Amino acid sequence: MLAEKVYTLCKKIPSGKVSTYKEIGKALHTKAYQAIGQALKKNPYAPEVPCHRVVASNGSLGGFKGKKSGIEIEEKRMLLENEGVAFENGKVNLKKCLYRF
């Protein structure tokens, strides 16, 4: 099942790093990026599976807890900042923080 594979990969992303829906897709040999996002939206294993560490390929935060804006996204940003993820111009600095599988 795709969701379980996504959760397994997500657990590998270390604190202070992020991955992208696209990087997860590459690792799983799929371009079903929306399905990856849906799996993370329904993550039953949080916080053991740190879905907040997955962002969009352009460094924007994407979604969190089923939302793309509001307090949920602020919470995602705070979680990442508290882990030491670097931001630049409102986006994650992927040059410094991208984790590849």
Cite the active site residues: 51
DSSP of the chain: -HHHHHHHHHTTSPTT-BEEHHHHHHHTT---HHHHHHHHHT-TTTTTS-GGGEE-TTS----BTTBSSSHHHHHHHHHHHHTT--EETTEE-HHHHB---
